[in-house]
Amino acid sequence: MEHIPSTGRYDQMRYNRCGRSGLKLPAVSLGLWQNWGGVDSLENGRAMIHRAFDLGITHFDLANNYGPPYGSAEENFGRILQSDLYSYRDELVISTKAGWDMWPGPYGDWGSRKYLIASLDQSLLRMGLEYVDIFYHHRPDPETPMEETMGALDHIVRSGKSLYVGISQYNPDETFKAVGILRDLGTPCLIHQPNYSMLDRWIEGGLLETLDNLGMGCIVFSPLAQGLLTNRYLNGIPPDSRAAKEGTELGEDEITPDFLVQAKQLDSIALKRGQSLAQMAIAWVMRRPQVTSALIGASRVSQIEELVAALDNPRFTPEELAEIDSITSPVLR
Ligand code: NDP
């Protein structure tokens, strides 16, 4: 049934310009990597998308192989979109990607023109869309000439199947090269999607500066380190958490005594700021002016509400930042 969104949905959210483009993205975006697959509750997924949109989250991020099974997150998102939100399509920025394992054989992985174009066609069918707003190459391919991969992205924009293109997990040199090829073809590279959190600060080692120089946006994934930077694991491993679930990329073995010491220290800084650890983790990635949006995941509506409220307290004192640095070791240059 059609969802009637809150009329106040644009009152609280901040929208940041994506690099030097015309597109703005919400400071918090929602990713459907986990919890929207065929194995998950469609009703819970539906409730999270409704609430996210009501809170001003206009950007939903997918990939061909999100599920499990592969493709099922796009199918479920398509179902929800078609039945509940279709008249709001022009208020949404929908992204998908290809670059990881998707179908068997030599044409369902990495970065060939053959794979990327076929994969986007499949994604559009699954979601019931004529175009996506952003199509990403999901990871660099060391074997395919970058000219071929970027040529496929350029073609995708020209064919109207995506309005913009982006790259994910490219290092600064690869980024510089990819963006140059695209620019020569006449298609700007809108955005980079790297991982970034207090526990993984690699993009401070040159990528953020590169993106700034190139005028690209930056949407950072796993800002909560998949849930480690929340109060989820401070007192054990809840059975419904990502770490406890089979087949996820977060293992129980990551909840070590050393990690818990670190997490509890960060939690006490957050409490002094009047925030939860999860909220501080979002505010912290957003402190960098180059970061356009924090790309969160969620397993329930209340988590989305909590994370969006992080934007109420975005500022850090130099003392707080130094304390966080002393716990999480910044990248040294
Ligand atoms: P996060 O780091 O935000 O982790 C999300 C998880 O943290 C949730 O599923 C939930 O886990 C837990 N959580 C969220 N909010 C709270 C809260 N308030 N309190 C306690 N726990 C909370 O991001 P993800 O790792 O999910 O990644 C986000 C998105 O980034 C993906 O959906 C995808 O779109 C994108 N991504 C892109 C990649 C790429 O290569 N480009 C790779 C990976 C992700 P629980 O289930 O335990 O409740």
Query: Is the CB of residue 96 below 6 angstroms from any atom belonging to ligand 1?
Result: no
Q: What does the pLDDT average to over 156-174?
A: 98
- Domains contained in the chain, CATH given: 15-328 (3.20.20.100)
Q: How far is the CA of 227 from the centre of ligand 1 (A)?
A: 6
Q: What does the pLDDT average to over 16-41?
A: 98
The predicted structure's pLDDT at residue 198 = 97
Assign 300 to helix, strand or coil: coil
DSSP conformational letter for 243: G
Query: Is the CB of residue 78 below 6 angstroms from any atom belonging to ligand 1?
Result: no
The number of residues making up the chain comes to: 333
Query: Is the CB of residue 227 below 6 angstroms from any atom belonging to ligand 1?
Result: yes
Q: What does the pLDDT average to over 261-287?
A: 98
* Claim: this prediction has a pTM higher than 0.95: yes
The predicted structure's pLDDT at residue 118 = 98
The predicted structure's pLDDT at residue 106 = 97
DSSP conformational letter for 331: P
The predicted structure's pLDDT at residue 217 = 98
CA distance 167 to 113: 15
Q: What does the pLDDT average to over 14-41?
A: 98
Q: Name the residue at shortest CA distance from atom 38 of ligand 1.
A: 221
pLDDT at 333 over 60: no
Is 191 within 8 Å of 218 (Cβ atoms)? yes
The predicted structure's pLDDT at residue 42 = 98
The per-residue pLDDT for range 114-153, each reduced to its tens digit, is 999 999 999 999 999 999 999 999 999 999 999 999 999 9
CA distance 147 to 137: 13
Q: Name the residue at shortest CA distance from atom 17 of ligand 1.
A: 303
Query: Is the CB of residue 232 below 6 angstroms from any atom belonging to ligand 1?
Result: yes
pLDDT at 236 over 60: yes
Residue listed under structure tokens 């918090």: 28
Q: What does the pLDDT average to over 21-49?
A: 98
The per-residue pLDDT for range 92-119, each reduced to its tens digit, is 999 999 999 999 999 999 999 999 999 9
Q: What does the pLDDT average to over 190-213?
A: 97
Atom of ligand 1 lying closest to residue 100 CA: 40
Query: Is the CB of residue 137 below 6 angstroms from any atom belonging to ligand 1?
Result: no
Query: Is the CB of residue 291 below 6 angstroms from any atom belonging to ligand 1?
Result: no
Instruction: Report the 10 Å Cβ neighbour count for 187.
Output: 19
Atom of ligand 1 lying closest to residue 62 CA: 34
Angle of helix 257-272 versus helix 277-286 axis, rounded to 10? 80
Q: Residue 194's pLDDT band (boundaries 50, 70, 90)?
A: very high
Query: How, if at all, do strands 132-137 and 217-221 pair?
Result: unpaired
Query: Is the CB of residue 53 below 6 angstroms from any atom belonging to ligand 1?
Result: no
Alpha helices in the chain (DSSP H): 42-54, 72-80, 113-127, 146-158, 172-185, 207-214, 257-272, 277-286, 301-308, 318-328
Q: Residue 331's pLDDT band (boundaries 50, 70, 90)?
A: confident
Atom of ligand 1 lying closest to residue 230 CA: 20
CA distance 308 to 321: 21
Q: What type of residue is 28?
A: V
Residue 172 vs residues 34, 162, 169: alpha-carbon distances, Å? 28, 24, 10
- Which residue, among 95, 73, 82, 76, has the nearest Cα to 26 in the 3D structure? 95
The predicted structure's pLDDT at residue 330 = 79
DSSP conformational letter for 2: -
Atom of ligand 1 lying closest to residue 243 CA: 47
pLDDT at 244 over 90: yes
Query: Is the CB of residue 66 below 6 angstroms from any atom belonging to ligand 1?
Result: no
DSSP conformational letter for 256: -
Q: H-helix or E-strand containing 24?
A: strand 24-26
Mutation choice for ligand 1 from 101, 230, 286, CB with most ligand atoms inside 8 A? 230
Q: Rounded to the nearest 5 degrees, what angle is found at the Cα of 67, between the Cα atoms of 178 and 306?
A: 85
Query: Is the CB of residue 223 below 6 angstroms from any atom belonging to ligand 1?
Result: yes
Note the Cα 194 to chain centre separation in Å. Answer: 8
Distance between first and last Cα of the chain? 53
Q: Residue 204's pLDDT band (boundaries 50, 70, 90)?
A: very high
Q: How far is the CA of 23 from the centre of ligand 1 (A)?
A: 24
Beta bridge partners of 220: 294
The predicted structure's pLDDT at residue 332 = 61
Q: How far is the CA of 137 from the centre of ligand 1 (A)?
A: 20
